[in-house]
Structure 1
Amino acid sequence: MSTTLALSPQTSTTADCLARAARARGLAVAVLTGPRADLRGTAAYYGGPRFAETVVDSLDVALLEPADDWLPTLPERYTRRTITPMTMAEARRGSTPMFVKPPSDKSFEAAVYADGSRLPSAVSGETPVLVSEIRTFVAEYRLFVLAGEVHTGSRYARFGRLDPLPLDADPRAPEVAEFAADLLGAQAARLPGAVVVDVGLSTTADTAEEHWAVVEPNMAWFSNIYAADPARCLDVVLASAGPAARVSRRDRAFVRAPIRARV
């Protein structure tokens, strides 16, 4: 049965690239405005999680996402920093500079905050967050991972500034590949079979030493592809948010629960 790439109504360059790749493959593309029962069991979704909540039941898609505890429980040799899960209320009590991010939903801006009082007041105190030591990333790379291997990738930033470049055109590509192979060889079993992992070359403020480290994992169905190969990104997106009936047994643990089941 043919798959339809179902896009959220929010336009983006990534959605455009994926749509072109899908059409080139002979797949149908639909821009959603609401539930589409006619696509039930035949669609794969790309777009934001909030809109997904309004259509996922009608599409019967299974949205795969990494577990919130994957990053903070990685061995230090993969993170090169302490990452502590806590609630927003607990983070607000912090009195020193810290990097704070939501585990997956992008519900507020991931950034360095001077102290806990600077965190966004509109976010509920019960919201889970990850608080980490501050690191500077010399270069950051987005890796689209399929079945435990890097399927395609892109550099997306240097020193915190957007600077996309295809992974195979970057002079550090062999180093990225070596670090990714080590990481995925040890930790891929704790990730969905289709996922995005961001990695980077990090430094600390008091030393010139550089280390490869994981930045964060992300849902492939809600990730900018930057300069990665759109056709190979599409492979990962289709596997990360396709019909629920096609989800493998090992990936069932990574299916995103509806909001009503998480509150």
Structure 2
Amino acid sequence: MSHDHLTVVTSARWLADDLRAAGTIGIDQILGLDAPVLDGRTALWCSGAWALRLLKAGVQHPFLSAGPDWLTRVPAEFLRRDVWAGTIGRMPYRGEGKMFYKLAEHKHGDIPAGLYLTEDTFQRHVRNVFATADHVDELHFVGSAPMRYTREYRCFIAHGTVTAASFYLATLPGVNDSTATITWDAYNGEQAPDASRAAAFAQDVVDAMGADQPPGYTLDVGEDADGDWSVIEANAAWSSNIYHAPAAGVIDSVLASQEPGNNRWGWTPDALFFNRTQPLGGVR
């Protein structure tokens, strides 16, 4: 069954308006205070936290994700750095020096993605944040050697094709070794930095991955000061900020990221977050 409607769960009216402007599918916007009635033909754009609440309420929906360790399978030529993944309880020693760490499948305000002195520093921080919770050591993480990007872009993918792309962040040198950032909302859509080279690089990655990728997802890619490109991370299209990406291509990716019959790519929330989540009300 194909989707013929997209429900956007957000308080940001502009997001639904931007997607509606594509004119390719019926779109409505809800705040998501209660669980919507889903008939199998309605796709969703929503936050990961809201998706958790929907699933916790017992509503079945085919949210797809590349998974916590997909980035480690991307060929080294597209990563340009060491990347590893695992669980908090079994973090490998990666030597001295700061490394980049993040939770793989979830966002938490007290556990920011970023540089940590050692893997033990990140591990202890996560355990301290969830001091009394069960399943802490089962949380998935992604680690990598640090990279410095001058510009970063988001690329939306549907069925092996990059369907839309947008600039979202530039990092510029400041004074005394500081940096300054420019975000996507400093531009209107027509003035935003061109994303065609980012899309071309992302397409090379998609082609290289072949069947080892979900039907729909997003790739964040970056360019460094030497003009070299690499993959930053993969995200679920159904919860990814669209920035200035062309709406029609975004919609194609969002719909593809919820196609039924792709159990291999089904999003599996970490048990700690699932157990702590309050279900949505209004389920009938």
TM-score, structure 2 length as denominator?
0.74
Counterpart selection for 1:214 from 203, 214, 231: 231
Corresponding residue for 1:16? 16
> 1-side partners of 2:12 and 2:91: how far apart?
32
Unaligned ranges ≥5, structure 2 = 131-135, 172-179, 276-284
Percent identical residues? 25
> 1-side partners of 2:59 and 2:29: how far apart?
12
Change over 3 Å in CA distance of 1:93–1:71 after alignment to 2: closer
TM-fit CA distance, 1:3: 3.5
Q: Does 1:105 align with 2:93?
A: no
> 2-side partners of 1:105 and 1:188: how far apart?
26
Q: Assess if the C-alpha contact under 8 Å between 1:92 and 1:117 holds in 2.
A: no
> 2-side partners of 1:15 and 1:103: how far apart?
25
Q: Does 1:254 align with 2:265?
A: yes
TM-fit CA distance, 1:63: 0.5
Matches within 5 A, 1:1-263: 3-8=4-9, 10-12=10-12, 15-17=15-17, 20-21=20-21, 24-25=23-24, 27-31=26-30, 32-36=32-36, 38-56=37-55, 60-89=60-89, 96-107=97-108, 108-115=111-118, 116-117=120-121, 119-120=125-126, 121-123=128-130, 124-159=136-171, 161-164=181-184, 170=193, 173-202=195-224, 209-241=226-258, 247=260, 249=261, 251-257=262-268
Question: Per the alignment, in what secondary structure is the counterpart of residue 164 of structure 2?
Answer: strand
Q: Assess if the C-alpha contact under 8 Å between 1:100 and 1:132 holds in 2.
A: yes
From the two aligned structures, give the one with the greater strand fraction: 1
> 2-side partners of 1:189 and 1:146: how far apart?
12
Deviations for 1:114-148, whole angstroms, at most 9, x for unmatched residues? 34436443143432211111110111110011111
Q: Assess if the C-alpha contact under 8 Å between 1:64 and 1:219 holds in 2.
A: yes
TM-fit CA distance, 1:74: 1.8
Corresponding residue for 2:280? none
TM-fit CA distance, 1:260: 6.1
Question: Per the alignment, in what secondary structure is the counterpart of residue 224 of structure 1?
Answer: coil
Deviations for 1:64-114, whole angstroms, at most 9, x for unmatched residues? 100222101222111000012133355597753111112232243211123
Q: Assess if the C-alpha contact under 8 Å between 2:101 and 2:142 holds in 1.
A: yes
Q: Assess if the C-alpha contact under 8 Å between 1:45 and 1:61 holds in 2.
A: no
* 1:153 partner letter: A
Unaligned ranges ≥5, structure 1 = 204-208
CA RMSD of aligned residues (A): 3.2
> 2-side partners of 1:183 and 1:167: how far apart?
26
TM-fit CA distance, 1:26: 5.7
Deviations for 1:172-206, whole angstroms, at most 9, x for unmatched residues? x4532442232111114211111100111135xxx
TM-fit CA distance, 1:256: 1.6
TM-score, structure 1 length as denominator?
0.79
